[in-house]
Structure 1
Amino acid sequence: MRDRAAGAAVMEQVVRLHTQSPPRSALARALGAPPIGADTAPWFAGALGEREVGALLDRLPEGWSVFHAIPVGTRPDASGAVADVDHIVAGPAGVFVVNTKHHRGQRVWVGERAVLVAGQKQPYLRNSDLEASRVRGVLAQAGIVAPVTAVVALVGTKEVTVRQQPRRVMVLRAEGLVRWLTRRPAVLDAATTSAVARLFDDPATWRTVDSSSDTLERFAVIEREVRNAQLVRFGWGLAAALGVVAVALPLIPALTR
């Protein structure tokens, strides 16, 4: 399981939804229409967020183990996705179940019992606590005693206001995640940390993962299409702005008389 790419499960969902969507017309491509639909966009943003957090967690020093996109659900939800844990981190400071939330340019408010994004309450605390409970169950079944902490890592936020940290879930910006982890006091010896890592790395610990071998490549193609569409829209916007300037310039002398 150690080889699972960050965001792998969400990327699979993006590819599945994108495959089911009708292709863009030539006109839509020329105008830079987004290649992904409204139902796919949140999953796409989620995949980018998980990948960003995964890259940050790769900076953890020796003695830490990181696992991404760990499957924990048993049946698909209404969207066809099966629940997974974004990241599980095991090290001297214990086990951390990290839930990535990508909210580019948004304001986030954190209180003891709630997380609000752009003023809207989100179920992040409940969901993160549930994921941590699942991991605690896995450890208990294996006879391993280790503390498990739920973490919500915020990606791309414009502002984070922490009124009060929740008691059961740590909420922080993704940029500060590694520093926060490495500054936690050591509570596990090397033998226990290794046992936890072996347990999490064993595919038999989790449900069977039935994923396509080309998911990463297909997601990369979609990502390039999204980036190219953004460039096209930027080009059209720039052309429109230059057009306005071209029309306005001859009028300036008349307006200044």
Structure 2
Amino acid sequence: MEKLLADRKGLPPRSFLGRVFGADPLTPDNYPWYKGALGEIAVGQILERLGPEWTVLHAVPVGAGASDIDHVLIGPGGVFTLNTKNHTGQSVWVAGRTLMVSGKKQRHLYNASHEAARAAKLLTRGVNATVAVTGVVVVVAPKSMTVRERPSDVAVVTDRRLLRWLSDRPNVLTPRQTAAITAAAISPGTWHRSPPDVVDPALLLYEFTRLRSLVDSARRRRAGWILALLVGGPLILATLSAYF
């Protein structure tokens, strides 16, 4: 959300005719960030339904640059880094080290594995004890997902099955271990050499909600105009043919 809203600063507003005819408020460069934000919001809402024994962190800045981890989970079932991918309406195929979306190979498994290894190293340093972390690719609203062979070091689940998958994990951490890892995880210094200033999440969500409303409204307007042309076009042609 933060990246999307920052990129939109300075863009000229849509013209009056653009608003009337439903011109898209988003540029082509905006769409990957917009789609990603929708996916992370959807998964975030699902994670809110976890019990109080779980700690959930969102958009965790990590390293020395602008990288972040979509979601970090800490609970009795272990520590997990979630890499959310919004592939609404697309077919996903998984076999071992390969994940394809609509027939195109993606780096989701590699990225999830790298995030988990990175988190394990940082949390181990923060706790001063070995912390195992499991990387998870969460596929949001796919048309279908076929798993021919499960990856060896990364889990792949859909958003619909995420809570069930987490609840099925056996307890591997004691309350004391969970508390120690949580204490390290909520410290920004554990993750980032120079933790960035925290942007008010409520303000980000408010601005994104406004933008989402504009995008949805523009989409409805375009659909309305297309429907009007489909219905009205033949009527206009029939009327004209009656006179000519």
TM-score by length of 1: 0.86
What CA distance in whole angstroms lies between the structure 2 residues aligned with 1:166 and 1:238?
46
Compute the displacement of 1:212 (Å). Answer: 3.9
**1:246 pairs with one of 224, 235, 238:** 235
Residue pair 1:12, 1:211 contacting (<8 A) in 2 also: no
Residue pair 1:144, 1:196 contacting (<8 A) in 2 also: no
1:210 has 2:194 as partner: no
Compute the displacement of 1:248 (Å). Answer: 7.9
What CA distance in whole angstroms lies between the structure 1 residues aligned with 2:144 and 2:237?
38
Partner of 1:178: 163
**1:91 pairs with one of 66, 71, 75:** 75
Q: Could you tell which deviates more after superposition, 142-151 or 162-171?
A: 142-151
Q: Could you tell which deviates more after superposition, 240-249 or 172-181?
A: 240-249
1:102 has 2:78 as partner: no
Residue pair 1:154, 1:171 contacting (<8 A) in 2 also: yes
Residue type of the alignment partner of 1:26: F
Partner of 2:11: 21
Could you tell me the percent identity over the aligned residues? Answer: 41
Q: What secondary structure does 1:163 align onto?
A: strand
Compute the displacement of 1:19 (Å). Answer: 1.2
Q: What secondary structure does 1:27 align onto?
A: helix
What CA distance in whole angstroms lies between the structure 1 residues aligned with 2:45 and 2:134?
20
Q: Give the aligned length.
A: 235
**2:221 pairs with one of 232, 243, 247:** 232
**2:99 pairs with one of 109, 115, 133:** 115
User: Cα RMSD over matched residues?
Assistant: 1.8
Residue type of the alignment partner of 1:149: T
Partner of 1:197: 182
What CA distance in whole angstroms lies between the structure 1 residues aligned with 2:82 and 2:5?
23
What CA distance in whole angstroms lies between the structure 1 residues aligned with 2:238 and 2:166?
57
Q: What secondary structure does 2:152 align onto?
A: coil
TM-score by length of 2: 0.90
Compute the displacement of 1:23 (Å). Answer: 2.4
What CA distance in whole angstroms lies between the structure 2 residues aligned with 1:62 and 1:16?
34
Compute the displacement of 1:106 (Å). Answer: 0.7
Compute the displacement of 1:247 (Å). Answer: 5.1
Partner of 2:242: none
Could you list the runs of 5+ residues in structure 2 that have no partner in the other structure? 240-244
Residue type of the alignment partner of 1:232: R
What CA distance in whole angstroms lies between the structure 2 residues aligned with 1:248 and 1:161?
48
Residues 25 and 194 (structure 1 numbering): CA distance in 2 closer, same or farther, change over 3 Å? same
What CA distance in whole angstroms lies between the structure 2 residues aligned with 1:190 and 1:234?
53
Residue type of the alignment partner of 1:230: R
Could you list the runs of 5+ residues in structure 1 that have no partner in the other structure? 1-10, 76-81, 251-257
Compute the displacement of 1:56 (Å). Answer: 0.5
State the 4+ residue runs in structure 1 displaced beyond 6 angstroms.
none
**1:146 pairs with one of 118, 121, 131:** 131
Compute the displacement of 1:242 (Å). Answer: 2.1
What CA distance in whole angstroms lies between the structure 2 residues aligned with 1:68 and 1:160?
25
Residue pair 1:73, 1:83 contacting (<8 A) in 2 also: yes
Residue type of the alignment partner of 1:200: A
